[in-house]
A and B are shown apart, each in its own frame.
Chain A
Amino acid sequence: MSESVSRRQFLSQGISGLSAAWVSAHLPAMVAAAGYARQAARSATPPKFQFFTSEQAAEIDAITARIIPTDDMPGAREAGVVYFIDRSLATFAADDQKTYREGLPELQARVSEMFPGAKFSGLTAEQQDEVLHSFDEGSKSPRRPFRARPGAQNFFETLRQHTISGFLIDPDYGGNDSGAGWKVIGREREHMFQAPFGYYDKDYPGWDAAANEAEKK
């Protein structure tokens, strides 16, 4: 965890149940996928996609870039997340292929309906967000939930979880290229620290034994 991850929370509290289920369902190849993402993001020549066509990859890349956008800090695009997802779908996340296969045309249909003649990747950021909000079950008024096959997660939620995982995986083991995700959340790359750690403990005067003693009486 739960315990951990907070393994306890991660697995037991249900808040992140879907994510946990996703992460738990997919195994050793996730690490391989992460390594591949790093390699892909670093190589000078664009790597070949294994699951997506390059057209599909451009659309997925555009969506990941709205899930974790680039601002003054790197986003999903800089972290090479599209490569992570492609490799995942070709290997351990093969069960999710159907979600993507059905989701991408549905996305295009929605784009055509909302912005005739356009592709998602060709829209402005505002227009892209408008399209994604129309899919997101978590939004206030989704136009309709995406194809709720029994037991299946919708396309957008799946892609959201894949994007976050590809962005925040420990860069030491691949993925999260150049530690982009950790830079954003402010987690230092070191794995050895000394107290004081933060703002509130830096002036701690030490344990005051008398404080509890006094109360005892």
Chain B
Amino acid sequence: MTVDQPKYKTSEEVDFIIVGSGAAGGILAKQLSTNGFRVVVLEQGPYLTEADFTHNEIEILAEDKLTNHPKLQPNTFRKTPQEKAKPQRALVYGRCVGGTSVHFTANFWRFHEIDFIERSKVGPIPGTTFADWPITYADLEPYYTKVEWEIGVSGLGGASPFDPPRSKPYPMPPLPVKASGVLFERAARKMGWHPFPAPMAILSQPRPGRSACINCGFCLGFGCEVGAKSSSLATAIRMAEKTGRCEIRPNSYVHRIEADANGRAVGATYFDEKRNTHLQKAKAVVVCANGAETPRLLLLSANKQFPDGLANSSGYVGKNLMLNSGGNVYAQFEHPLNDYKGFAVSRIMHDFYELDHEKVGFYGGGGLDARFDFTPISFAFGGLPPDTPRWGKEFKSALAQNFNRTLEIFCHGTSLPIEDNSFSLDPELKDAWGLPALRMTYKDHPDDLKLANWMFARAHELLEAAGARKHWGFPAQEAQFAVHLLGTCRMGNDPKTSVINADHRTHDVKNLFLCDGSSLVTSGRGQPTMTIEALAFRAADRITALAKRGEISA
């Protein structure tokens, strides 16, 4: 797969360096190389392919084969800036070619119109930096459609009365319904709600070189060995390589963006696998390293001109972190669901996407889905009700009875942006390369917790209507672990309150662009990847137009 790749010299000034090969980086690599540019993608993780993916739960869970490694990349956590952060694993992200899109669940919701303009509609919320986007749903709609068709998303347009307008149907029908989906659909209808087939970035029909989903059951957390999951690895990266202008350089850990005296990015310094240092030169740099590592890289790249971090004149680099509120409610049923077969989610609903905050008493909104995303060991540790004996005869019979009879309702929701919630550099802890480790500071806005509990109550109502034999959950707790990494280099028109403009160009450095979860201004309702990819397609168009007009080069 690498035979057609060019091998650029580090001294050769390529057109673009892209840092990170995940959801956004993969698409920017594909689009920019297709548009004729010479591109080097620097990915900190290894280049694994389908042949490397297994169903080995220990390898995935314990060895972090596909994800950031807590021993090599430790981090710290604290709730507020007044506390000293303690070492504690606080985040997970994909660390391999394809990034988090390799192991994600592949829920692919579009954002709705409201997500871009909600601040104007709702008004200010004290203690937050809640803001409108500088772009609207209409600006992004063509790019959502591009994602669906080029990357491969299965779904049913028009099935949800709450869906935003779309210019084209999905390119392929939804995946088959699971037992959890049927129970969810029937119960939701009984409640007067509007369930619909989940849009998923998983193929329901084969595409060239890729199989349709074979329902193996090892989905969330695992890489897809048949290429059915529409990761950047299985899609955009392969297309980028075919252009002959894009080099994917794995095991390349970028730790500094170099800038010249004129405040222009000139390249990126990285460690190779043997920890030798290289400087790749480029006319422009696009950072797609995720909502934690993108701000960290800018902070690590502080220089004389930008002592608080490259492109950080706003002070907003790393700030306004949003994680998406929510959690699970669990249920057991009388008959076998066998929901361990297949992808995770087949039915969702958006009736609560936009709640009347005066009526419910808090800001927020979200979606519910029916899923089963346990694997055997994780189920034994977390899938049984808390009153189940933890060992012995009854434990064993509970496992035997319920592994096949359990489903989860996942409640996804909004997070409000708060300036103190952030990723920053820990002043003491270092990673295995001797660089400052990530420090996460996070305390949920009270409305986010109220929303989560409100959604849990709806999930219990639904499970009651579904005839569950037993259902249980836990009250929302303040988050201390991040999966969705959003908002930390937000987009905006005002350089004082945002890091990038609507073209994804940093306000401060003309030839530095950022595109990933960090670009988001609001959190959406829980599934950000589709929007990150649509933004990447759009960013590629904007960047190409700027380059063709000669507005990037000095």
Contacts and interface: CB of A to CB of B under 8 A. Distances in A.
Interface of A: 1-16, 19-20, 23-28, 30-31, 34, 66-69, 71, 73, 75, 129, 132, 136, 138, 160-161, 163-165, 167-170, 172-173, 181-182, 184-187, 191-201, 204, 207, 209, 211-213, 215-216
A8 B93 CA distance: 11
A5 B56 CA distance: 11
Contacts of A11: 89, 92, 481
7 contacts: A1-B483, A5-B221, A7-B61, A15-B381, A173-B55, A173-B56, A200-B337
A3 B373 contact: yes
Contact of B215 (A24, A163, A187, A192): A192
A164 B417 CA distance: 40
Interface stretch (B253-261, B303-311, B389-397, B456-464): B389-397
Given A191-B217, A200-B335, A209-B159, A4 B483 contact: no
B89 A195 contact: no
A34 to B, nearest CB: 7
Contact of A5 (B57, B104, B477): B57
A197 B374 CA distance: 16
Contacts of B393: 69, 71
Contacts of A12: 479-481, 483
Interface of B: 54-64, 70, 89, 92, 103-105, 156, 158-161, 174, 176-179, 181-183, 189, 192, 194-197, 214-222, 327-328, 333, 335-342, 373-382, 386, 390-393, 395-396, 399-400, 403-404, 408, 474, 477, 479-481, 483
Contacts of A196: 176, 179
Contact of A2 (B56, B159, B221): B221
Contacts of A184: 396, 399-400
Contacts of B59: 31, 173
Nearest to A70: B396
Contacts of A187: 340, 376, 403-404
A41 to B, nearest CB: 17
Contacts of B337: 197-200
Contacts of B55: 170, 172-173, 191
B60 to A, nearest CB: 7
A198 B215 CA distance: 13
The 8 closest A-B pairs by CB, nearest first: A4-B221, A199-B335, A195-B176, A12-B481, A198-B179, A16-B382, A16-B381, A185-B403
A198 B404 contact: yes
Given A9-B378, A67-B391, A71-B393, A4 B222 contact: yes
A17 B12 CA distance: 48
Given A5-B57, A212-B194, A200 B378 contact: no
Most B-side CB within 10 Å, residue of A67, A207, A211, A215? A207
Contacts of B474: 13, 15
B61 A23 contact: yes
A186 B400 contact: yes
B494 to A, nearest CB: 34
Given A170-B55, A198-B335, 8 more contacts: A7-B92, A9-B382, A19-B382, A27-B63, A191-B216, A195-B215, A197-B337, A199-B179
Nearest to B105: A3
A215 B161 contact: yes
A207 B373 contact: no
Contacts of A14: 477
Contacts of B403: 185-187
Contacts of A193: 214-217, 341-342
A168 B377 contact: yes
Most A-side CB within 10 Å, residue of B378, B390, B404? B378
B382 A164 contact: no
Contacts of A213: 161
A211 B89 contact: no
Contacts of A25: 62
Given A4-B103, A7-B220, A24 B382 contact: no
B405 to A, nearest CB: 9
A138 B381 CA distance: 14
Nearest to B384: A15
Given A5-B221, A11-B92, A160-B391, A212 B159 contact: yes
B407 to A, nearest CB: 10
A39 B114 CA distance: 58
Nearest to A23: B62
B552 to A, nearest CB: 37
B381 A10 contact: yes
Nearest to B389: A138
Contact of B178 (A169, A191, A197, A212): A197
A164 B156 CA distance: 41
Nearest to A217: B161
Nearest to B372: A6
Given A5-B221, A7-B220, A168-B377, A20 B61 contact: yes
Contact of A197 (B179, B183, B391, B396): B179
Contacts of A163: 391
Contact of A164 (B217, B333, B380): B380
Contact of A6 (B160, B373, B477): B373
B373 A200 contact: no
A136 B390 CA distance: 9
